[in-house]
C-alpha cells in the first residue's frame, strides 16, 4: 500500500487487493474450480489496460453513496436488468448444507470416531448431536461441521505421518 498515493485510501485498498487478495485467494479458487471441471476461464475485467484505466479514475467515479463499481454499473445498465445491477454483493461460496445433510452418516462416523476420538479433545456425543441437529434441519451447523471436518482431516493426516515415521524407524532398526 506504500507504493500508492498516501492521500487516496481507496486506491491503496484496490492496490492491496490486486497484489494479495486476487492472486492469493479469488483467482486461485476460480482457477482450481474451473480446472476441476475442465473449464477454461478468463477474467476479462483484469485486462491490464482496463485495470490501469480503472485505477486512474477519481474516487467519486468508483464509489458513490457506499455503492462500488459505479462506472461498471452505469456502463452495463443498458444491457442488464436493474434488479441485477442493484442487488447486494454475493460471494462465491458453495452451499454445503445440503451436502452435509446427505452425508450425515459418514460425517457422524468421521467426527465421532478415529482420530477425533483418539485425540481426547472432543465430547463425541456433542459432535454427534451437531450432526443430528443439522441432518434433522433443527439448526444449520454447516460452518461448525466444516471446521470440525478440517480438524478431523488434520488429525487423520497427523496420524498417518506418525504411522509412517514409526514404520520408517522399524525399517532402519
Chain segment 76-127, per-residue pLDDT in tens: 999 999 999 888 877 666 789 999 999 999 999 999 999 999 999 999 999 9
Q: Does the reported pTM lie above 0.75?
A: no
Per-residue pLDDT, 162: 79
- Residue 128's contacts (CB-CB under 8 Å, 6 or more residues apart) are 108, 111, 112
**pLDDT of 29 strictly over 90:** no
Q: Is the pLDDT of residue 128 over 90?
A: yes
Helix pair 124-135, 142-172: axis angle to 10 deg: 130
Across the chain, what does the average pLDDT equal? 88
| Burial classification of residue 129, based on how many CB atoms lie within 10 Å of its CB (0-12 exposed, 13-18 middle, 19 or more buried) | middle
What is d(CA 173, CA 164) in angstroms, rounded to the nearest whole number?
14
Amino acid at each position: 500500500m506504500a507504493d500508492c498515493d498516501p492521500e487516496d485510501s481507496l486506491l491503496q485498498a484496490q492496490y492491496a487487493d490486486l497484489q494479495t487478495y486476487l492472486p492469493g485467494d479469488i483467482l486461485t479458487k476460480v482457477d482450481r474450480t474451473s480446472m476441476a471441471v475442465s473449464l477454461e476461464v478468463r477474467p476479462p475485467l483484469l485486462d491490464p489496460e482496463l485495470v490501469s484505466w480503472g485505477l486512474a479514475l477519481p474516487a467519486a467515479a468508483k464509489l458513490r453513496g457506499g455503492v462500488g463499481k459505479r462506472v461498471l454499473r452505469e456502463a452495463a445498465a443498458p444491457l442488464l436488468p436493474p434488479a441485477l445491477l442493484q442487488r447486494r454483493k454475493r460471494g462465491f461460496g458453495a452451499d454445503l448444507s445440503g451436502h452435509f445433510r446427505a452425508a450425515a452418516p459418514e460425517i457422524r462416523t468421521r467426527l465421532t470416531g478415529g482420530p477425533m476420538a483418539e485425540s481426547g479433545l472432543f465430547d463425541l456425543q456433542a459432535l454427534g448431536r451437531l450432526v443430528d441437529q443439522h441432518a434433522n434441519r433443527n439448526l444449520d451447523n454447516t460452518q461448525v461441521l466444516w471446521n470440525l471436518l478440517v480438524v478431523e482431516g488434520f488429525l487423520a493426516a497427523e496420524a498417518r505421518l506418525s504411522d509412517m515415521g514409526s514404520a520408517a524407524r522399524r525399517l532402519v532398526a
